[in-house]
Structure 1
Amino acid sequence: MGSRQNPEIITFEKGSELIDAYVTKLKRILEGKPEPAFVSHEYIGNYTTVYNMCIQKPPNDCSERLYEKYGDIFIDYDTHTVLPSIMEKHDEYMLRELSQRWDTNKSMVRWLTRFFYYLDRYYTARRSLPGLPEVGMICFREHVYNNVHFNVKQVVLAMIHKEREGQQIDRALLKNVLDLFVQNGMGTTDRYIEDFEDFFIVETKSYYSRKASSWIQEDSCPEYMIKSEESLKKEKERVAHYLHSDTGPKLVDVLQSHLLVSVAKQLLEKENSGCSALLRDDKTDDLSRMYRLYHAIPEGLAPVTEAFRLHVTSEGNALIKQAEDAATSGSVEEQVLVGKIMDLHDKYMAYVTECFQNHTLFHKALKEAFEIFCNKKVAGSSSAELLATFCDNLFRKAANDKSNDDSTIDSTVDNVVKLLDYISDKDLFAEFYRKKQARRLLFGKFNDDHERSILTKLKGQFGGQFTSKMEGMVTDMQLAKDQQTDFDEYMKNKPKGVDFTVTVLTTGFWPSYKTSDLNLPLEMVNCIESFKAYYETKTGHRRLMWIYSLGNCHLNARFDSKPIELIVSTYQAAVLCAFNNSERLTYQELIEQLNLSHEDLVRVLHSLSCAKYKFLNKEPASKIVSKTDSFEFNSKFTDKMRRIRVPLPPVDDRKKVVEDVDKDRRYAIDASLVRIMKSRKVLPHQQLVSECVEQLSRMFKPDIKMIKKRIEDLITRDYLERDSENPNTFKYVA
């Protein structure tokens, strides 16, 4: 293998001439001037010249001067050719020229890097100097970019403004120019941000502030939102087409804060088109758009949920006021009111699930709104009582009307459970409901499936303790039915007496009823004795307590015109039977004979002598029963009916229900306080009260004064004691 002997020294001047010729040709080619393309021997020749100049022994090694020359080629070209050609143009033409010159510069860097390749392999690496491609870029940045970026930015901003105002622009050109801003950051976006983006964001803020000011004056809320959504969409498109992706979130942020957050109150409260009007007029698309726009903003939904809450509250309050105004002499149309509240709930729950995507904030707002008006009294009746009466009427009607659709009742029951969730006195509802349920069960006005269905749902929502007594009552009815069959079987072999049905109830499940030592007619006494005898064969350890106030009888009354069957209460029957032995009886004789209380006897005599049906004639005739009255059987009574149900005026036991609940609450508070103190041993007053409230609030809102009273009571009963150092702290007494 041969080696070169004494290679010819290439001086820097001579080498430069050769290189310059190539560079001149390269510039002409890149600028599109008539020039034949490079052929391979020219390219190799140039590379070889540089190679040979670099490998010469010192002092002939030209590496350093060639590296400088490489940079000078770019500096000369950038300052004398590129910059002037850009500066003489304006507007879009300037951007086109810049874009073209930038492309040319990149091609020139590629070509010259190949020519001078040997420098990059050895010289720059060993001396830790910027590589050749970087030098070409740095020269462009310092001698072209730094002189034009301000003017270029102005043109770009003007073009974007034109596009925002609906004109067509050359997006590809903008993309090239903005890429140039990024690439001149040499690997960072610093140049793009400082020389363009910061100005663009300021410009965007002022543009959309102006838009917001004029739109909020001229447009309705839906129109404003459509424009805002459209603007957001278009700005996102701008990012996709020509802006750097990092600009996207900043841009969205500007639009949200200037188009939506700053005008939220004004927009949502716009008369005839704001949030309230959209809810009222069922504008689901607009409400969904409102949710979409504000959901994307941190904390953005707060004003929307507040507007929603206020609207629902005011609609609910209006229903309560309407019911209050319609209430006649303290009687509320609970079926109408509760039905309307259920419809209201269905309507707004549909908005929450569909328009507001089931968002928890809207569920919370709906709950808060309903809690406000669902706990208001209407004509003196609490919502707990109204809801219990609503259920009672619903089930009575369903029991009478066999054509009732079970699925409708089922969905109504679901709504009852939902509404009950908003009512704070759930224990009061339970007590009223139980009282009414007991009457339905005892008087046969019930459908077993419906009764069990609501209890299953209430149990699922509020726990087994809530429904245990009510479930016990339903079970009692089933047991009583079986027992009656058994009793009838037992009586088959006995001498035939009066048809007699007994319902045995378990004391703990049922409401407490008034008992009295009523002196019954002999026929009834015989019935009771026969059942007692039967019951003793079944159980030895249970004691029966007879509640005559709940019984009823079928009597055959023989009037002069015709016999009529009367359906009456046990009390009414006892009074009427007293006239079998005497034509005429005074009030005083009746009370002694029957052993009834004054209140009960007055109610019964009133129903038989002063009400619709006058089976007894009263002397003196008047609407008021007094202790000096006397009565006689009205044999002349006549009526076209063969059977008459004789009503007894109902006793208003609302007061008793409230008293019972209050008593139960005292026990519940005591139990809760002891439970907390037992586990915590020592607690300050404030914390004990708040833990107690939290524990009980699922069933009722405990009154703070009542809790304080119960604490004092527990101290006197030695369950708790005050701390001797700090009287505001309590200790558990084990």
Structure 2
Amino acid sequence: MKIVQLKDGLATLNKGVTKLKKILEGFPEPSFTTEEYINTYTAVYNLCSQHYPYNYSQDVYDKYLDIFKDYIDLWVLPSLNQRHDEFMLRELEKRWLNHKIMMRWLSRFFEYLDRYFVTQNSLSSLNKAGLICFRDMVYEEVKFKARDAVITLINKEREGEQIDRALLKNIIDVIIRVGMGKNESYEKDFEAFMLDNSSSYYSRKASNWIAEDSCPDYMLKAEECLKKEKERVSHYLHSSTEVKLLEKVQNELLAAHHSQLLEKEHSGCRVLLEDGKVEDLSRMFRLFSKIPQGLEPVADIFKKHIMCEGTALIQQAEDIAAASKAKNLGGPEQAFVQKVIELHDKYMKYVNDCFTNHTLFHKALKVGFEVVCNKNVSGSPSAELLASFCNNILTKGVSNLTDEAYEETVDKAVKLLSYISEKDLFAEFCRKKLSRRLLFDKSAGDDHERLILTKLKQQCGAQFTSKMEGMVTDMTLAKEKQNEFVEYLKVSGVVHPGIDLNVTVLTTGFWPTYKSSDLNLPPEMVKCVEVFKTFYETNTKKRKLTWNYSLGNCIITGRFDRKTIELNVLTFQAAALLLFNTADKLSYLEVQAQLHLSDDDLVRVLHSLSCAKYKILKKTPSSDTVSSTDYFEFNSKFTDKMRKIRIPLPPVDERRKTVEDVDKDRRYAVDASLVRIMKSRKVLGHQQLVTECVEQMSRMFKPDFKLIKRRIEDLIARDYLERDKENPNMFKYVA
């Protein structure tokens, strides 16, 4: 095979390279023919495939590099140095495209060299060597000018000008490609400067906007800027830049001005909450969720706003209560609780819709409503107000809600209960109001009663509702027992008592404790009681009946001069009125002697019959109060337009009694908790014992530290606990 000398081989190679350069520079040069391509490839092959000393592979490799260097020196750098700004970028784009074409053609010409010599000698591949030439000779020469030109175009686009995004994408591609698969050049030579420039740009913009724009307008601009920056990354910047760039923009537009923005006088967060600007609040959440701790001040304002709105409702309710008291119009609990429910619905909707159920805002809502729902209104604890509200919607004839509306209202009322700390007080008020509804047939129905008990059980546990469920069940059983009594009277041959008697038999443990009375019943009533006792004892041997006359009611006929009127009265009132069937006039002391009532009960009874709206009895001397020196006689002249009237007793303030009962129960509960803790721990410090006790009791109420301290001392006195002799703050369980 004929030896090809280096000089001859390079001469053939130069012909092909020269033709390639002319084509790249736009000279009127025809494309490569197959023969020209084969000749050029063969020249390289021959020079690199001959045996030593005629193997010129190293010389050919050097020639490959020289081709790039000569072309860059002669054509590329002069054309780049003549241009500036965007024109320089366009020239760089063109030269980069030409360089890639040149690498592609030369890699074909020099393929044999790349296949063997480069691999065997661990040299840079031809493509890599071509990239290195461009990087070292072109990129390093123009990188600062190119960077500044790109940043200038980006800022123009930010100002609303149209720019060539494809040009920027290609320039960024150059910067990335010269990094040889790494982002080091991109990050060091371009990204860092672009991010700093972005910070400065948006810092200037933010300073102007915060002074001129309202909070909603500012947020609109900020959101639009973030959207545009995200699009910018997708169009021509590297994807790794997105997080860094958005962080810079968020920091300058939001983090740097968050306090000033949220607290703007006429358009800040509080104003948006007051005006119900749902869209603006949603935008605020989206924006501030992107910066570290950005949502915390928003949630804090949300919480304080709820407290402020709730406090305003409380003040409004107290004003209404004061006016109602002056006009004898009744309590404000129904309207107040309804407004609190509406307030909760409103801000729960904000949490769901505007704040996407974020835990921070659920917590703010919870804390805010805990403050609102644990304040007294006109001296009434919130637990009592909520219990009264529930009582109203469950009382027959008071609420006209449909089944769906009733269930929805119950759900919302029970939700409010979760914010009330004194759940045990609520339960006690509920129990007492439930007892009156059931005993006086005021309940809207068993289904409604059981529905609210189910909701309460889900919220607070089975123990919370066990007694109330027992009360509802008791009433069902009592009706069955009454039916059995009616059948007993029909078939047993017992002499009918002459009065329609309805007895409600209840289980003592389920029902509230009521004041017992040794009322001396009239003979007519005594006969009824004896008949029922006989019936009950024949059916139940091991249970004892205890009669509570304070809860009974009677319908008696009053024969007055003008007409006969049916009087719906309580048992105490009926017993007092029946005395006047055999006496024309009785003194206070005579009535008391015959009835065996306490002064408090007797005063209320006689006042309702002689001093209130319906004056069935005439009192001497005439006055609005009852005293032990008064005399009473039947008022035969009494009349009324109605044929049936109900005469209630003067109301008794049961709140104090209920609170006292709950306080007593709390003492027992704290005692049980302390003993339970100490029994399991044996030895425990004072602070830890108090903390664990508070944690156990917090589901039903928040015990006062003084109460816990008193209960500890009481348990020590009763030999349940003892102090450590060496450390008085340590307690031991006494087994």
TM-score by length of 1: 0.96
Deviates more, 1:232-241 or 1:16-25: 16-25
1:348-392 deviation per Cα after TM superposition (whole angstroms, max 9, x unaligned)? 111211222222222211111111111100111000011111112
Task: Describe the SS at the equivalent of 2:369.
Answer: helix
List runs of 5+ in structure 2 lacking aligned partners: none
Residues 110, 716 of structure 1: alpha-carbon distance in 2 compared, 3 angstrom cutoff: same
Q: Does 1:440 align with 2:437?
A: yes
Counterparts of 1:573 and 1:58 in 2: how far apart (Å)? 137
Please give the residue correspondences for 1:163-182 in structure 2 after superposition, counting only pairs within 5 Å. 163-182=157-176
Q: Is the 8 A contact 1:516 1:548 kept in 2?
A: yes
Specify the alignment match of 1:460 in structure 2.
458
Deviates more, 1:51-60 or 1:564-573: 51-60
Q: What residue number does 2:248 align with?
A: 254
Per-residue CA deviations over 1:633-657 (Å, capped at 9, x if unaligned) read 2223233332221121011111110
Query: 1:605: Cα distance to partner?
Result: 1.4
Deviation of the 1:402 alpha carbon: 8.9
Distance 1:641 1:111, change over 3 A: closer
Q: Higher mean Cα deviation, 634-643 or 528-537?
A: 634-643
Within 5 Å, which residues of 2 pair with 1:163-562? Answer: 163-328=157-322, 329=325, 332-396=331-395, 399-400=396-397, 404-446=401-443, 447-492=445-490, 493-496=493-496, 497-562=498-563
For 2:488, the aligned partner's letter is Y
Match of 1:88 in 2: 82
Structure 1 residue 404, shift from structure 2 partner: 4.2
Moved more, 252-261 or 117-126: 117-126
Partner of 1:20: 14
Give the Cα separation in 2 of the matches to 1:8 and 1:395: 113
- Whether the 8 Å contact between 1:564 and 1:642 is mirrored in structure 2 is yes
More deviation, 153-162/286-295: 286-295
Alpha carbon RMSD of aligned pairs, Å? 1.7
CA distance in structure 1 between the aligned counterparts of 2:565 and 2:37, rounded to whole angstroms: 131
Q: Verify: 1:715 aligned to 2:716, yes or no.
A: yes
> What is the DSSP-based 3-state SS (H/G/I as helix, E as strand, rest coil) of the residue aligned with 2:581?
coil
The CA deviation string for residues 82-105 of structure 1, in whole angstroms up to 9 with x for no partner, is: 111101011211111111111111
In 2, the alpha carbon distance for the partners of 1:388 and 1:519 equals 35
What's the counterpart of residue 680 of structure 1? 681
Relative to structure 2, which stretch is displaced further, 224-233 or 321-330? Answer: 321-330
Deviates more, 1:96-105 or 1:710-719: 710-719
Higher mean C-alpha deviation, range 343-352 or range 715-724: 715-724
Supply the distance in 2 between the matched residues of 1:81 and 1:643 (Cα, whole angstroms): 117
Conserved 8 A contact 1:324-1:332: no
Matched, 1:626 2:624: no
Write the distance in 1 (CA, Å) between the matches of 2:710 and 2:424. 20
Deviations 1:323-347 (A, max 9, x none): 1122224964111101111111111
Q: Report the TM-score, using the length of structure 2 for normalisation.
A: 0.96
Within the alignment, does 1:44 sit opposite 2:38 as a pair? Answer: yes
Moved more, 629-638 or 180-189: 629-638
After superposition, give the CA deviation of every residue in 1:22-65 in whole Å (9 maximum; x if it has no partner). Answer: 22121001212111222222222222222322344444332222
Contact 1:332-1:378 within 8 A present in 2 as well? no
Identity of aligned residues (%): 62
Asked if 1:726 corresponds to 2:727, the answer is yes
Over residues 151-195 of structure 1, what are the superposed CA-to-partner deviations in whole Å (9 max), with x where a residue is unaligned? Answer: 111111110111110011111111111100001111111111111
Say whether residues 1:614 and 2:611 are aligned partners: no
Alignment of structure 1 residues 123-138 onto 2, 5 Å: 123-138=117-132
2:143 maps to 1:156: no
The change in CA–CA distance for 1:629 and 1:101 in structure 2 (over 3 A counts) is: same
Is contact 1:332–1:379 with CA below 8 Å preserved after alignment? no
Measured at CA, do residues 481 and 616 of structure 1 come closer, stay the same or move farther in structure 2, by a change above 3 Å? Answer: same
Classify 1:641/1:119 alpha carbon distance in 2 versus 1 (closer, same or farther; 3 Å).
closer
- The 8 Å contact of residues 352 and 358 in structure 1, kept in 2 or not, is answered as yes
Residue type of the alignment partner of 1:660? D
1:121 aligns with 2:115: yes
Distance (whole Å) between structure 2 residues aligned to residue 56 and residue 387 of structure 1: 103
1:661 and 1:9 map into 2 onto residues whose CA distance is: 113
Distance between the aligned counterparts of 1:383 and 1:476, measured in 2?
A: 29
SS at structure 1 position matched to 2:732: strand
User: What displacement does 1:620 show?
Assistant: 2.0
C-alpha change, 1:462 and 1:532, in structure 2 (3 Å) is same
Q: Find the residue that maps to 1:564 and give its secondary structure.
A: strand
Q: Which amino acid aligns with 1:539?
A: T
Among 8, 14, 26, the alignment partner of 2:3 is: 8
Structure 1: which 5+ residue stretches go unaligned? Answer: none
Moved more, 576-585 or 230-239: 576-585
1:526-675 mapped onto 2 (5 Å cutoff): 526-675=527-676
Rounded to whole Å, the distance in 2 between the matches of 1:344 and 1:649 is 35
Q: Distance between the aligned counterparts of 2:161 and 2:618, measured in 1?
A: 100
Q: Which is further off, 305-314 or 201-210?
A: 305-314
Deviation of 1:9 after TM superposition, in Å, equals 4.8
Count of aligned residue pairs for this structure pair:
726
> Does the CA contact (< 8 Å) of 2:169 and 2:237 recur in 1?
yes
Please give the alpha-carbon distance, in whole angstroms, between the structure 2 residues aligned to 1:452 and 1:63: 97
Q: Deviations over 1:673-723 (max 9, x none)?
A: 222222223322222211211111111111111112112222222222233
